[in-house]
Amino acid sequence: MRKLFTIVSLLVVLSFVLTACGGGAAPTQAPAATQPPAATQPPAATEAPAATEPPAAGEKVTLTIESWRNDDLSIWTDKIIPAFEAKYPNIHVVFAPSAPAEYNGVLNTKLQGGTAGDLITCRPFDASLELFKQGYLTSLNDLPGIENFGDVAKSAWITDDNKDVFCVPMASVIHGFFYNKDIFDKYGLQEPTTREEFMNVLKTLKDKGETPLVMGTADQWESATMGFQNIGPNYWKGEEGRQALIKGTAKFTDEPYVKTWQDLADWAPYLPQGYEAEKYPDSQTLFTLGKGAIYPTGSWEISQFEKDSGFNLGIFKPYVANAGDQCYISDHTDIAMGMNAKTPHAEEAKTFLSWVASDEFAALYANALPGFFPLSNAKVTLDDPLANEFLSWRQECKSTIRNSYQILSRGEPNLENELWRVSAAVMNGSMTPEQAGQEVQTGLEKWYKPQ
């Protein structure tokens, strides 16, 4: 009896091992499997004919959009898609987003498994370039409407030899600081423009018992994207510094970079208590509840904040080191849309992409999503005052993009991931700004020849 028990229990354990390992190791068991399979298939009515054949006229085709913008679900389903469907009644479009942090992994898995949607929202630069190289995205050189975009707009979604464009640029976002006007007015504070003014504002607010700066480091990317890449361009002179990194004439151990991290370290005493475990949604909620004065972030927050905050919102641009310095802003080409090369509805997908390239879409998108600024040459009037203010910075300051996005994140260790990690560690006080520079530089030198 006992012996039997032992044998049976051993079998149980063994099967556990196999089950567990099989589950972890099998490439077929991708986490994407838990998501509803993307509707690459036509709806039930058209299912009878082979899915690869173009459907006969009059039949309705469903296109699915893959995206990481789950915040925009209602805007797509209520505003953008109905406008398109009104024009093209026999195409039905479904917006199917996944969580931002998981999007790349989920999308790659879906593409490899052949279950991805017909239209793919493109991350800028290498992630999408790699998809194009692997044949998952099609070239859109001859797409009607692609001529509406300038070279800068297309730069994030073009091959290195500038020959093939594979995504239709949709929008860029601009980094900056939001602030609570009511709190500023209460203490008679002005929008800070220099580093000194900014630190003084933080100190005053702290002395008055407010939470001066809202930001958490738990998700790591906020520290890099909304901290490092937000204020950094003023130190490394925007494009000049970014190109110097690519050429290898500048290093992350140089003064501008260490100074940027030093600023982040100096912010730490003004952050909410327990910011080390504070996540992005915590920060958003804290700020919109009026419990913090300043929130370093970007224009993509406008619509959410305008809806949720019960106070007067203001924005100011990243501070410069000394009064009168040339200012730089991070005006990041962020979103585009491409076509799944294996879609059975290529014609319809192209129709949709042409519409995305049109002036009508630019105006609709920019106004439905204030804070996402169109990249096409279309003249778009924005209704939102905050969005207009963000856009006005393009006149005063020089634009640049995040320095880790073009070319520099092609190797191991991945520069973007490294910047997340060290920026969060600097804010947590577990790494000095000099160490951060040294670690990032060492990582980059390992694989990037010009450095």
Partner 1 sequence: MQSSKRRSQIPVHVLVFLAPAVLLYTLFMVVPLINSLRLSFFEIVNQNQQSFAGLQNYIKLFTDSNFAPFFWRALRNNFIFFAVHMLVQNPIGLLLAALLAEGGRVRDFFRTIIFMPTVLSVVIIGFVWQLILNPLWGVAESMLKAVGLGAWFGPWLGKPETALVTVALISVWQFVGIPMILFYAALIGIPDELTEAARVDGATAWDTFWRVKFPLILPTVGIVGILTFVGNFNAFDLIYTMKGANAGPDFSTDIMGTFFYRTFFGQQLQLGNPTMGATVAAMMFLIILAGVLIYMFLWARRIQTYEM
Alpha carbon of residue 241 to chain centroid: 22
Neighbour-count burial of 335, counting CB atoms closer than 10 A to its CB (0-12 exposed, 13-18 middle, 19+ buried): buried
Which tokens go with 413? 């260790």
Cβ neighbours of 11 (radius 10 Å): 10
Of residues 234 and 423, the one with the C-beta less far from partner 1 = 423
Of residues 156 and 357, the one with the C-beta less far from partner 1 = 156
Q: Are 63 and 345 in contact (CB under 8 A)?
A: yes
Distance CA 444, CA 175 (A): 25
Distance CA 167, CA 5 (A): 61
Of residues 5 and 52, the one with the C-beta less far from partner 1 = 5
User: Which residues of 214-299 form beta strands (DSSP E)?
Assistant: 294-298
Alpha carbon of residue 267 to chain centroid: 23
- Quickly list DSSP for 104-115: HHHHHHHHHHT-
- The least distance separating partner 1 from the CB of residue 420, rounded to whole angstroms, comes to 7
- The least distance separating partner 1 from the CB of residue 333, rounded to whole angstroms, comes to 14
Which tokens go with 200? 């003084």
- Quickly list DSSP for 122-159: EPSTHHHHHHHHTTSB---TT-TTGGGB-HHHHGGGB-
25's CB contacts (< 8 A; 6+ apart) are none
Of residues 17 and 45, the one with the C-beta less far from partner 1 = 17
Total length of the chain: 451
Residue corresponding to tokens 């690519």: 246
- The least distance separating partner 1 from the CB of residue 397, rounded to whole angstroms, comes to 25
- The least distance separating partner 1 from the CB of residue 141, rounded to whole angstroms, comes to 21
- The least distance separating partner 1 from the CB of residue 127, rounded to whole angstroms, comes to 6
- The least distance separating partner 1 from the CB of residue 261, rounded to whole angstroms, comes to 14
* Nearest to 372, CA basis, from 16, 45, 71, 9: 71
- The least distance separating partner 1 from the CB of residue 410, rounded to whole angstroms, comes to 9
Of residues 358 and 404, the one with the C-beta less far from partner 1 = 404
Of residues 351 and 404, the one with the C-beta less far from partner 1 = 404
Of residues 42 and 338, the one with the C-beta less far from partner 1 = 338
Distance CA 262, CA 197 (A): 16
Of residues 23 and 58, the one with the C-beta less far from partner 1 = 23
- The least distance separating partner 1 from the CB of residue 16, rounded to whole angstroms, comes to 5
Distance CA 325, CA 101 (A): 36
- The least distance separating partner 1 from the CB of residue 22, rounded to whole angstroms, comes to 4
**DSSP strand pairing (313-316 vs 373-374):** unpaired
Of residues 364 and 408, the one with the C-beta less far from partner 1 = 408
